[in-house]
Amino acid sequence: MSKFEFPKSIASRPVWGTLEVRSGEHHLMIAEAEGAEAVIDIATPDLMAKTHLIYIPKGTDFSERLQALNPAQFYEGPSYAAALHRIRRVLEDAHMGLQVYLTGTEGMMGQAMNEVMAVGLPHTAVQTEHRGSVARRMQCVHCKGVTEDVDVDPFVCAHCGLNLFVRDHYSRRLAAYQGVRVDAEDHGNVPEPKGIYE
Amino acid sequence: MTIQFNDESFRDDYTFHNSEWAIKRFPFPFHEDSYMYSVNMEQHRGGPKGSVYEMRFDVDEHYVSEMKDRAIVLDQDPLRCQSLPHMTLAGWDLLELIMVSKSEDYPDLFELHRNGNQWRWVNKPLGIDHSFTFMDETTLPYGPMEYITRQAQGDFAVLDQRDEMLWMDAGMVTTQADWSLDFDIGMNFFEWHAPVPKAHEMGIFKRALKFLLNIQQGAPARRLNWTMTVNPLLDTSPENYHKWGIQKTTLTSENIAHKQHLRVELQTFFRLPRSNALVFPIRCYLCSFQDLMTVPKWGRRLHRVVRDLPVELATYKGFIDNRPMMLDYLSQFDDGLPTSPGIWPDLETEPPLSK
């Protein structure tokens, strides 16, 4: 099952929705990994005929099933970073009324949301649905480096190497949660890492 | 009154100290013998002569050294001062507010000469005499917010107001109680307060927001907030927490009297005229336990407040581990006598310690 019920949290933590079909002449869908299933769940021939679908497999294999939906345009990118240039190009051409669907991990949705906002589309034109990994995109508050796909707490910052604990405090601008040194008051005393939601 | 500015440090050798004058005017934050969150806003329209409430922007003996400390922080981490592109006008508003207020409130220290948009600003304590064109950024060495807040004590959050909400869209934050401007910039009022325990459930932030949205020009408001800091460290930022966090463990029963500080924020709120933004100066005052204990009323009260504070709040404020040691020390100054209401020291009327 790719759906996960996030526990209730603080006010800065994003709340993700459930995709539904919206009317409109143009649709952009970005599906990362199991997010493909959310697209398959709502796809209709009429909707897909007006949809530019971007799929980032991240180890999954939904390519054939997605192409079988006959989207107006289909692109498979090996990573979000690789797909980003295309995403920006598509958004540059976007007209008011474009409907955007983001589905996959929190990190991808948060970053793609910022791209959509940067071109001035209203947030009401964007829908999200979390699917797949519950790993987080984390920013180290000390060195500012971002570590992708963090699924344990505490974790090691990929940039400065400090052991960081995973906060629920989230910045939409950075599309990241905050990581803070876990042993700041007792150097070397680092708890055994466990899953973020364990 | 002429202020004697201290030559002191807020890091490394920590030579920070309060004169007797500074202790007596310290904004002790507890108006009764217990503490719980409240909106506790009042009009910021002066106060008792010599108190930190008297002037719009209080200047005290720490001014010059605090500004040196700010410059050090900014050299090490320029991200402590940020302004989103739409906030430049609010920066000019703030520059005007501080220059006008300081030159009127402290004419012996600051001068502002205006001839249309040609302004001359004289800051005697910092040795600045600078002519510039108001609203022309090219005539200042920094953006307007950064320029003036390098010359004003306390942190500054500049909040944009739109959609019946306040947004943290600019700020100068180098003396903060453990929150990151770089992380929080762009957040709305509820988001940047999200990590505060309990207060959301109590409806504190909803009421505070309603109050703040309605602040009018010329009618600023204020409140006090507080926490605890080991050593007189101004820069208790999350950015540097991996370095300063360990200092909390250096507290002993021998050094607690001079090492443990009560950290008080005088928070004020001013509406800005052109941008309709709200500026939120957060001025930090530090006082060691031993200096606080020279006021008998504060000694009695601080012991009771720290003793009875809910665990959740002591944890959030970061002193739960040190609380037993703090109570051992503070209990010596609590003889059980009642205390007078209000925050003032009441030295003439409150009895000396009878213990």
Length of chain B: 355
Strand ranges (DSSP E) for A68-193?
73-76, 99-104, 126-130, 136-140, 146-150, 152-153, 155-156, 163-171, 176-181
Length of chain A: 198
The verdict on residue A10 lying in a domain is no
Interface of A with B (CB under 8 A): 10-13, 139, 141-142, 144, 162, 167-169, 171-174, 178, 180-181, 184-187
pLDDT band at A2 (very low <50, low <70, confident <90, very high): low
Q: Which residue has the tokens 């797949």?
A: A132
Distance CA B67, CA A57 (A): 52
Q: Are residues A51 and A120 in the same domain?
A: yes
Domain boundary among A77, A98, A130: A130
Of B187, B190, B321, nearest to A171 by CB-CB distance is B187
Q: Which chain B residues in 244-273 lie under 8 Å from chain A, judged by CB atoms?
A: 245-246, 248-249
- Cβ–Cβ below 8 Å for B195 and A13: no
How many domains does chain A contain in total? 2
Crossing angle for the helix pair B323-330 and B296-308, to the nearest 10 degrees:
150
Sequence-ordered list of residues with C-beta below 8 angstroms from that of B90, at least 6 positions apart, any chain: B145, B158, B160, B170, B272, B274, B275, B277, B279
pLDDT at A37: 98
pLDDT at B177: 85
Q: Which residues of A touch B241 (CB under 8 A)?
A: 141-142, 180-181, 184
Distance CA B203, CA B37 (A): 10
Distance CA B58, CA B282 (A): 11
Q: Are residues A115 and A55 in the same domain?
A: yes
Q: Are residues A44 and A123 in the same domain?
A: yes
Domain boundary among A130, A164, A185: A130
The verdict on residue A1 lying in a domain is no
Q: What's the CATH number where A92 sits? A: 3.40.50.80
Q: Report, as ranges of residue numbers, the positions in chain B whose pLDDT lies below 50.
A: none
The verdict on residue A20 lying in a domain is no
Distance CA A158, CA A166 (A): 14
pLDDT at B125: 98
Q: Are residues A44 and A117 in the same domain?
A: yes
Q: Could you state, in order of their start, the residue ranges of all structural domains in chain B?
A: 20-333
User: Catalytic residue at B223?
Assistant: yes
Residue A103: strand pairing partners: A31, A129
- Cβ–Cβ below 8 Å for B241 and A142: yes
Domain boundary among A81, A100, A130: A130
**Three-state DSSP class for residue B57:** coil
The verdict on residue A16 lying in a domain is no
pLDDT at A163: 98
The verdict on residue A47 lying in a domain is yes
pLDDT at B1: 56
| ipTM of this complex | 0.92
- Cβ–Cβ below 8 Å for B187 and A12: yes
Residue B266: strand pairing partners: B224, B283
The verdict on residue A95 lying in a domain is yes
Range of the domain at A69: 27-130
Sign for the CA dihedral angle at B221, B61, B69, A187 comes to negative
How near does any CA of chain B get to the CA of A173, in Å?
7
Q: Are residues A170 and A92 in the same domain?
A: no
> Has this prediction a pTM greater than 0.90?
yes
Residue-wise pLDDT for A97-147, tens only, equals 999 999 999 999 999 999 999 999 999 999 999 999 999 999 999 999 999
Mean pLDDT across chain A: 96
pLDDT at B355: 80
Residue B84: closest C-alpha in chain A? A173
Q: Which residue has the tokens 């071109």?
A: A119
Q: Are residues A114 and A58 in the same domain?
A: yes
Q: Is the pLDDT of residue A1 over 80?
A: no
Crossing angle for the helix pair A80-92 and A106-118, to the nearest 10 degrees:
30
Write the DSSP symbol of residue A186: S
Of B180, B186, B241, nearest to A172 by CB-CB distance is B186
Residues B220, B98, B62, CA angle at the centre, nearest 5°? 100
Cα–Cα distances in angstroms (integers) from residue B51 to residues B21, B46, B54, B56, in the given order: 10, 9, 5, 11
Q: Are residues A125 and A152 in the same domain?
A: no
- The β-bridge relationship of strands B128-133 and B118-123 is antiparallel
**Pair of tokens at residue A187:** 């150097």
Catalytic residue among B25, B70, B223, B301: B223
